[in-house]
Structure 1
């Protein structure tokens, strides 16, 4: 019996060592990634066709205003300052679009830390967790949101086609994240195509992290 226990302890230690090396970057991956980016969300009043179309129009006009400013930013601190300094102007841009489209919705803006599920934007998939985000909430804010990343400035979209500039996205993220962090969020070379499969990928990493912590705790 003692020999069996000893074997199990050895295997647990070995497994813990493997996890400690192979998943060391996972241990703080979401947290370290979150410290390096600012997300951007435009949240629709509802999921009606009209409200979703309004959301995209607000997005278009806000990006026209803020993107040139953010492209010049070289750090998350600078981007945060630009966003805060531009907040009132952004709100006016959003409200102008809403009025022109004959709606009475109020546009609220806030830079805060929020919990988000797994989300994909082009060739980038961010794991669930807490992130700093600049949000424009239209009306009741009960509809689906459109999102991108303000820092690094990934909001390089062809507004007429709704296309993500993959090469720009890859370059900006590689300049901001470590190779291990970029590998975690990069989905361009992955066989994972469905959201459910992507979620399973991150859930596996979370389970591995918990197992390693449990082993270390024992």
Structure 2
């Protein structure tokens, strides 16, 4: 009887663990799938002071002007990665020129590496927190807020101020490399009412499942101990 009781407790604890961490595992798994298909682009300012933030945007503008014709027709992650690597020196020269022309003597660093990022939204896309490959231009101490976009798929070249037009272009680019499930997980245009309704249904379903499981466990304990 003691072994049976221990087995029941073990099953109960296992259920709690799965229920607690299952959702987190699924989220992390989806983030990894998404990250494996993206290259992000970040320009990080020296500080959050207005003049440093303005300089960041000037650097961004000149780099995008140079890289647009080179990256906008890229069809693969490897192709984009190669283009970025081949043009890294020129990007540095452009950025350093902008910094100098604006009267600053900041150092500059560029890297194509994997970094951890918080949740970020760009137009109709919201990427979950996690580890992503990113090309980063770091100005000076790099302690300011950063501007970012997605280099592959080439969303940097979609004007996110164009409303529905931009949304359709974004969807087209993302769906060229993402599955429907992956795209839905980053699409932030889902109607709030639908989201709330789905969330409510999921919560109700969870509550019902908890009641059923708890009831079954209680019944097992009753049978073992003849309560």
TM range (shorter): 0.7 to 0.9
* TM-score (norm. length: structure 1): 0.75
Q: In the TM superposition, what is the alpha-carbon distance from 1:163 to its structure 2 partner?
A: 2.5
Structure-1 separation of matches of 2:107 and 2:11: 61
Q: In the TM superposition, what is the alpha-carbon distance from 1:152 to its structure 2 partner?
A: 0.4
Please tell me whether the aligned partners of residues 25 and 181 of structure 1 are also in contact (alpha carbons under 8 angstroms). Answer: no
Structure-1 separation of matches of 2:143 and 2:26: 35
Q: In the TM superposition, what is the alpha-carbon distance from 1:27 to its structure 2 partner?
A: 5.4
C-alpha deviations, 1:61-102, integer Å up to 9, x for none?
Answer: 100001111112110000000000000001111111111111
Highest Rg: 1 or 2?
2
Going from structure 1 to structure 2, the CA distance change for 1:24 and 1:138 (only over 3 Å counts) comes to closer
Please tell me whether the aligned partners of residues 72 and 157 of structure 2 are also in contact (alpha carbons under 8 angstroms). Answer: no
Q: In the TM superposition, what is the alpha-carbon distance from 1:9 to its structure 2 partner?
A: 4.8
Structure-1 separation of matches of 2:105 and 2:9: 69
Structure-2 separation of matches of 1:103 and 1:23: 45
1:115 equivalent to 2:116? Answer yes
Please tell me whether the aligned partners of residues 158 and 170 of structure 2 are also in contact (alpha carbons under 8 angstroms). Answer: no
SS at match of 2:144: coil
1:163 equivalent to 2:161? Answer yes
- Partner of 1:51 in structure 2? 52
Going from structure 1 to structure 2, the CA distance change for 1:25 and 1:174 (only over 3 Å counts) comes to farther
Structure-1 separation of matches of 2:141 and 2:35: 27
Please tell me whether the aligned partners of residues 112 and 134 of structure 1 are also in contact (alpha carbons under 8 angstroms). Answer: yes
Structure-2 separation of matches of 1:115 and 1:55: 21
SS at match of 1:170: helix
- Partner of 1:176 in structure 2? 177
Please tell me whether the aligned partners of residues 42 and 147 of structure 2 are also in contact (alpha carbons under 8 angstroms). Answer: yes
SS at match of 2:155: coil
Going from structure 1 to structure 2, the CA distance change for 1:191 and 1:61 (only over 3 Å counts) comes to same
Structure-1 separation of matches of 2:150 and 2:116: 15
- Partner of 1:214 in structure 2? none
Q: In the TM superposition, what is the alpha-carbon distance from 1:147 to its structure 2 partner?
A: 0.2
Going from structure 1 to structure 2, the CA distance change for 1:176 and 1:104 (only over 3 Å counts) comes to same
Q: What 5-or-longer segments of structure 1 have no aligned partner?
A: 193-200, 202-207, 209-218
- Partner of 2:127 in structure 1? 126
Aligned positions, number: 188
Structure-2 separation of matches of 1:16 and 1:139: 46
Q: What 5-or-longer segments of structure 2 have no aligned partner?
A: 194-198, 200-205, 207-227
* TM-score (norm. length: structure 2): 0.72
1:146-157 map, 5 Å: 146-157=147-158
Q: In the TM superposition, what is the alpha-carbon distance from 1:124 to its structure 2 partner?
A: 0.5
